[in-house]
Chain A
């Protein structure tokens, strides 16, 4: 059960992030989680939003390179070392983590967004460990 993440290419140019946010706002898209991968030359903005398809279309119409990518969102309890344990179990299966960032569900437990190699297998492995996977419906329900 993957979640559609909205990714946008950004040049390191002043005001571009604001431009993206403005487009989303104009199209009544709520941003649930946002992370910016910044390199020396360019940036990639990654977001979970309530209406991924509509948001993707709106950005394209406004000339942005954007796409929807499958990612995995997992719930982790606040117990110390929990995240580390999970990552280790993924690593043991030779699954690479491409990137991850935190997702606030507004509830008690913390969540993480993960993009890995072989996402199917990663999901299976995590489920086998008893990890709870966040559903797209849950994401859409999050009120920010």
Chain B
């Protein structure tokens, strides 16, 4: 099933015309309504009239997370506050909050995108779906909720936190779909396993997002629960969940590019990379009213393909994320991303243990130590077993990173958390 065949299967040529028209309007709107963009465009010597189609996209200024913070709270809004019907906010790793606002039309489009995504995963009005993302300032809960309602599915707004109630309702209601983070779903699967309830559920599909996960984790979820697990992507700055999602062929995530115009750029030169090459994902929102963003740098590294998918959609596909451009470390000449360490550690079990990478330079040679918290599930009363674990992690990291890392096991909670989020890198080379 395809929710909106006209838009999702549109020919590339038609799409470009549609995107061009929407881009022109967006540029005109932000130029006149957002002083920040007017100043930026003026300093680049461009006017709205210079943008005639998506071929002119590269002339436009970039927007970064810092710009959003600098214009806290409503500085980048393009409509009067009276037109804003919803606010969402997220606190980044630095602790500063970014705020986004939606008009009623923005919310409609958001629901449309989520409905497309859910349809892509096989969910329809005949399904009962539990939304187990957090409801509130975070876009996950309400975003998934409104999309599922738009689809006409029966929505159970679980939010997070009460796994017992969730599994009971899952069984009693005959829930067929769930939207939540992959790690929470694994926790749910374990709870069901422990209580011998796996064969009592009717779950068919899961739509997971809001955190990085690996193919291995997908397979684990799918076999444990005997379901199909899909990857949904989104970020609150651009909209929330439903910017992209993978179809039944799981060959990358389809981007709804009639609303979010994607680019993949080289984060150093800021030039576009060839299709298929890895770079930083950039979005221009071309229908958003509340807070339209020009060339927003997501910092997520991916590649894009415009080949028509086996599912029939012409929507471009982005690959599973390869890392974050702002986190890249160069160790002994090799590009290393914390997300690679994270993915490698994820292969060790069902969730990522807390870790920190300590990069240093000893005798002009870069060193990498990865400290991993010894959670209960890893702990053994035998020295031999813990040494084996150390070796195993070192081996996995060597494979994933292409460089050797020294692993040190540390006590749980000993790695410093800032605002609830772990700091993953200490680069001591910068301190000297």
Chain A residues in contact with chain B, CB under 8 A?
Answer: 5, 7, 9-11, 13, 16, 37, 39, 41-42, 44, 46, 60, 63-67, 69, 98-99, 115
A65 and chain B: residue at smallest CB distance: B379
Whether A37 pairs with B411 at a CB distance below 8 angstroms is no
**Bound form: Cα–Cα A11–B379 in Å:** 12
Is the pair B411, A46 in contact by a Cβ cutoff of 8 Å?
A: no
- The residue in chain B whose Cβ has the minimal distance to the Cβ of A43 is B383
Residue of B nearest to A70 (CB): B381
B387 at the interface (CB under 8 A from A): yes
Q: Which residues of A contact B410 (CB under 8 A)?
A: 11
**Which residues of the other chain, B, contact A16 by a CB distance below 8 angstroms?**
411
In the complex, B16 has a CB within 8 A of chain A: no
Contacts of B381 in A (CB 8 A): 5, 7, 44, 46, 67, 69, 115
Check: B386 CB closer than 8 A to any chain A CB.
yes
10 closest Cβ contacts across the A-B interface? A7-B381, A65-B379, A63-B413, A69-B381, A11-B411, A9-B374, A65-B374, A9-B379, A98-B382, A11-B410
Given A9-B374, A11-B414, A37-B383, 11 more A-B residue pairs with CB atoms under 8 Å apart are A7-B381, A9-B409, A13-B411, A42-B386, A44-B381, A44-B383, A65-B375, A65-B379, A66-B376, A98-B382, A99-B382
A5 to B380, CA, bound (A): 12
The docked-state distance in angstroms from the alpha carbon of A42 to that of B383 is 9
Contact B376 A67 (CB under 8 A): yes
Note all chain B residues with C-beta closer than 8 A to A60: 376
Bound complex: CA A115 to CA B376 (Å): 19
Assess whether A64 is in contact with B382, with CB atoms less than 8 Å apart: no
Asked if A63 and B387 sit within 8 Å, CB to CB, the answer is: no
Contacts of B390 in A (CB 8 A): 41
Beta-carbon contact of B384 and A67 below 8 Å: no
B residues bordering A, Cβ < 8 Å?
374-376, 378-384, 386-387, 390, 408-414
A9-B374, A41-B390 known; A64 vs B411 contact (CB < 8 Å): yes
B410: nearest residue on chain A (CB-CB)? A11
Q: How far is the CB of A3 from chain B (nearest CB, A)?
A: 13
Q: Which of B374, B382, B411, B413 contacts A115 (CB 8 A)?
A: B382
Return A118 CB to nearest CB of chain B, in Å: 14
Q: Are B409 and A98 in contact (CB under 8 A)?
A: no
Cα distance A16–B375 when bound, in Å?
16
Q: In the complex, which residues of chain B have a beta carbon less than 8 angstroms from the beta carbon of A65? A: 374-376, 378-379, 411-412
Chain B's closest residue to A98 (CB) is B382
Distance of A121 from chain B, by nearest CB (Å): 18
Q: Which residues of A contact B414 (CB under 8 A)?
A: 11, 13
Q: How distant is B377 from chain A, measured CB to nearest CB, in Å?
A: 9
B381, B384, B414 — which one has the most chain A CB atoms within 10 A of its CB? B381
- CB of A17 to closest CB in B, whole Å: 12
CB distance from B179 to the nearest CB of A (A): 31
CA distance A64 to B413 in the complex (A): 8
Q: Give Cα A74–Cα B144 distance, bound, in whole angstroms.
A: 60
| A10 and B411 alpha carbons, distance in the complex (Å) | 6
Contact present for B412 and A63 (CB under 8 Å): yes
**Cβ B379 vs Cβ A66 within 8 A:** yes
A11 to B414, CA, bound (A): 9
A16–B382 alpha-carbon span in the complex (Å): 19
Q: Complex formed: what's the CA distance from A39 to B385 in Å? A: 13
Report the Cα distance A7→B374, complex, angstroms. Answer: 13
Nearest B residue (CB) for A46: B381
B residues near A10, Cβ cutoff 8 Å: 411
Complex: A5 Cα to B379 Cα, angstroms: 14
Given A7-B381, A9-B374, A64–B386 Cβ distance below 8 Å? no
Contact, CB under 8 Å: A63 / B382: no
Closest A residue by C-beta to B385 = A98
**In the bound complex, CA of A21 to CA of B375 (Å):** 20
* CA of A67 to CA of B375, assembled, Å: 11
| Nearest opposing residue in chain A for B387, CB measure | A39
* Residues of A close to B386: CB separation below 8 A: 9, 42, 44
CB neighbours (8 Å) of A7 from chain B are 379-381
Give the docked Cα–Cα distance between A112 and B378 (Å). 27
Q: A11-B414, A63-B413, A65-B376 are in contact. Are A41 and B408 (CB under 8 A)?
A: yes
Question: Residues of B contacting A66 with CB < 8 Å?
Answer: 376, 379
B379–A67 contact, CB under 8 A? yes
